[in-house]
Amino acid sequence: MRSRCIAPLLVPILLALLPGLSAGPGCGPCDPVLCAPLPVQGCPAGSLRDSCGCCSVCAAADGELCGGRRAGARRCGSGLECVRSRDDKKSKMGVCACKSNYEVCGTDGTTYKSGCALKTASLAAQKEGKEPISVQNKGRCATAPVIVTPPGEVFNVSGSQVYLSCEAVGVPTPVLTWKKVVGGKRRAELLPGDRDNLAIQTRGGPEKHEVTGWVLISPLTKEEEGSYECHATNSIGEASAIGAIYLVESADDVIIKTVMKEEEEEEL
Ligand SMILES: *[C@@H]1O[C@H](CO)[C@@H](O)[C@H](O)[C@H]1NC(C)=O
């Protein structure tokens, strides 16, 4: 029986312990009938009790003002914290910011910039009568690889130094491999193979979840002429793109062929 009497008493005690939020002066006796109704369209950041622990009010959303004194104090919605400016120590006001400021993947398959952005989207979805959205995993949603920069075509003379590059993005970050296409797509030789004038290099970036790979050839011989396939794969899927290396007779041909290729690309 005792605990039933204590529970309502604990609320004002707990509120009094929170700095700047104390329900003290300014809070009259609570009469729920006098509370202003919540907006019919709902609250973007959800609702909570006002600082007097009496009426239901809209919580301050991500980026909105919070804090303040006594009865007028505004509190942030769940998952948010009130961050006060460091320059202005005297100010009692702050701005609501997300406690967990990292990307999350929602159960709707969308990547949100923070848990709070997801919460806002979830409340909006529910308002439209849709399923609420919850966190599926931290970080971005998994996506199949996409080749963002396919390997182009290079022309050069025998004995020269050439390279093809390929850039792919995906979550998890894709793994890149190169194949030399020999006699149609059926037969492909996984590179680098055993050629000592050919090397494969891969590194992460430039952006997060991106990977860039190169086929480096030096010196170029008739043997390396042909098509090269850049292949990106992760747990979700795969993607590939083809580039080519051509051996030409003279340095003049390098220029002519390169210019011709550029004109061709402009026409497309
Ligand atoms: C052609 O080869 C020369 C000499 O190795 C090199 O400096 C140049 O970058 C190459 N050009 C192309 C388009 O690969």
Looking at 3.40.228.10, 1.20.1240.10, 3.40.50.720, 4.10.40.20, the CATH number of the domain 45-98 comes to 4.10.40.20
Predicted model pTM: 0.65
Q: Which of 155, 158, 162 most suits a substitution to test ligand 1, by most atoms within 8 Å of the C-beta?
A: 162
Of the ranges 20-24, 112-116, 234-238, the best mean pLDDT one? 234-238
From the CA of 258, give the closest atom in ligand 1.
13
Going by CA atoms, what residue is nearest to atom 2 of ligand 1?
Answer: 160
Q: State the average pLDDT for the chain.
A: 85
Q: For the segment 61-77, what is each residue's pLDDT rounded down to a tens digit?
A: 888 999 887 767 888 98
pLDDT at 265 over 90: no
CATH 1.20.1050.10 fits 143-267, yes or no: no
pLDDT at 11 over 60: no
Residue listed under structure tokens 């006001």 = 93
- Residues 22, 16: contact at Cβ < 8 Å? yes
Report the pLDDT value the prediction gives residue 2, as an integer from 0 to 100.
Answer: 46
Report the pLDDT value the prediction gives residue 268, as an integer from 0 to 100.
Answer: 64
Beta-bridge partner residues of 2: none
Q: Is 165 in the pocket of ligand 1 (CB under 6 A)?
A: no
Mean pLDDT of 175-194: 85
Mean pLDDT of 153-174: 95
Of the ranges 81-95, 166-180, 246-260, the best mean pLDDT one? 166-180
Rounded to whole angstroms, the Cα distance separating 216 from 195 reads 11
- Residues 180, 228: contact at Cβ < 8 Å? yes
Residue ranges of the domains in the chain?
45-98, 104-138, 143-267
Q: Tell me if residue 113 falls in helix, strand or coil.
A: coil
From the CA of 254, give the closest atom in ligand 1.
13
CB-count exposure of residue 244 (10 Å: 0-12, 13-18, 19+) = middle
pLDDT at 186 over 80: no
Q: Which of 153, 161, 262 most suits a substitution to test ligand 1, by most atoms within 8 Å of the C-beta?
A: 161
Rounded to whole angstroms, the Cα distance separating 150 from 229 reads 9
pLDDT at 263 over 70: yes
Beta-bridge partner residues of 238: 233
Q: Is 154 in the pocket of ligand 1 (CB under 6 A)?
A: yes
Cα angle 130, 131, 132 (rounded to 5 degrees) comes to: 115
Rounded to whole angstroms, the Cα distance separating 98 from 152 reads 43
Q: How many CB atoms lie within 10 A of CB 16?
A: 12
- What confidence tier does 5 reach under pLDDT thresholds 50, 70, 90? very low
